[in-house]
Structure 1
Amino acid sequence: MSVDQVVRKPHERLAAHLGAGMEAVNALIRERMASRHAPRIPEVTAHLVEAGGKRLRPMLTLATAELCGYDGPYAVHLAATVEFIHTATLLHDDVVDESAQRRGRPTANLLWDNKSSVLVGDYLFSRSFQLMVEAGSLRVLDILANASATIAEGEVLQLTAAQDLATDEAVYLQVVRGKTAALFSAATEVGGVIAGAPDDEVRALYDYGDALGVAFQIVDDLLDYAGDAAATGKNVGDDFRERKLTLPVIKAVALADDAERAFWRRVIEKGEQRDGDLDHAIALLQRHGALEATRADALMWAEKAKTSIDMLPAHELRDMLRDLADYVVARIS
């Protein structure tokens, strides 16, 4: 029986196919997160890095590099770079959001403190730049440096947009493309670049990562209102309690009457939340079909991701990447 028959989930099939490469990535991550002078750095980093995440982003880099025919050593460096950037942003995000749980475990800022989380995140950003320089490609450096700036820009935009009822779907998409999709698209794009793929194939890989990242974030935002905390590792309603104006709420606000708009203004803009408000919010989302409409958007972006790589040469990894897009939205199907 083949590995594909035993391991059914697309990300697990991808992980099995990329096993040796991912072992090298994990070894490099452990090596580069070490610090001779500040033991708290590996302590905090290990808490998050070893928390059981799927490692989707570094797998995307390894997969796209192999798909485009690369067999050199630097795909591993770039995959580790992507994971370091991702981990750094998670450490910072949990401080900004005052989160208490990540992947079903207490967050680093809760176990240590905000200062440790911020400073260790800064350290990981610095390590990521060291790694990407080692690949010796100015184009790769440009892509990943731009992605880092775009992620920060998206997070800052969210600070002002997330609690403003005037925020529409276009602004939401801009936030999502910044804080989430930018790293997905960079992860897939650099795989093609390091392999020396033609520009049209590199663009296709970028488009795939962008659409996959948007779908991924929309699903996360939907599951905050319609998910299972035991399955997601997040408390249902965290975005509501943090007053984040995510896509389901934006859709409901657009259809709200005066009384409903007053409710959203109180709980989101003013932050005056009371017992029962989350249940009422979910009822409003259901009343206006906002959850189903958000689900349809996620499925549309997943389809866009799959279509974008149809022009790439036939390859089992291309099929796995298509299946991965379906898997990202399978939790809401």
Structure 2
Amino acid sequence: MAQTILKVGNFPLPDELFVELRKRADFYDENTLSATERLETRANTDIVLGSGGTVFQEADFATCPRLKGIVCYSVGYDGIDVAAAVKRNIFVTYAPDTLNDEVANTAMMLLLCCTRQAKEAQEYIEQGKWLHGPAYPLTTSIDGKKMGIAGLGRIGKAIATRAKAFNMEVGYYGRQQQAEVTYPYFASLKDLAAWCDVLMLVMPASAENTHCVNAEVLAALGSQGFVINVGRGSLIDTEALITALETGQIAGAGLDVFEHEPEVPAALQHLPNVALLPHLGSATVETRARMTKLVLRNVDAQLQGKPVITPVPGTRKQ
């Protein structure tokens, strides 16, 4: 009997991954099914294919009595109820180490776009202002500045390596100090913000982290400080950020993620001291190819009754 893989969530799937999954099992995209078809398909689903934006909670597990595992085409799994999966002995996999460097590159690009005012400088040319002068105003260097990284995991460490290459000092904040890390550790996000010139956010979404960058933290960052977010949009209190940018309480912001994406507040779109990206962090051909290979390895392991390659910590391997 053929096994069934069900794609849950609204995310693009590379043609190669689609073709390969169809070779391995009966494959369905829930977005193409009627409500009745969804229930019928879920009842026969063995593997759910999800992403960072997929929501799969307690009630969803109840609709999938045959479910053996959830394979995430992403590093994030914020919307997956991992505790419910563990309770049912269902594995959950993710795609660690496939996109660390690309997200780190994106973080540095956002930082440079903010500090060197890339968007504004291009508009200066497009509007013909360079032809008549005066010269474009001086911008800010990151050389010798301090970067405070909130979330020194794999991606955070890749960003730190790049920051050091730009001759920046690095400090970090996290749930606990890492014994093997020599960068200075700060026990609170506010203390980190007060120390640094650039507050780099790389933390995952959680109830504890929601709006952890609030008005108080932004005030500590100060009028010469920049905040860059390549973690999750919910980390920042968006209204507090807009106020801080509009009043000059901070110097600028670079954002790849948003609290209610793809919706982006108009105020952010029109501010001159903001660099925005539509969640491009890891969106390169090369990164997606690595993620595709890892997803297929995890799917193949399950179909062959072998331990999965990259289980989410705390979930089963086989």
TM-score bracket, shorter-length normalisation: under 0.3
More relative contact order, 1 or 2 (CA 8 Å, 6+ apart): 1
| TM, length-normalised to structure 2 | 0.24
More helix by share: 1
More strand by share: 2
Larger Rg: 2
| TM, length-normalised to structure 1 | 0.24
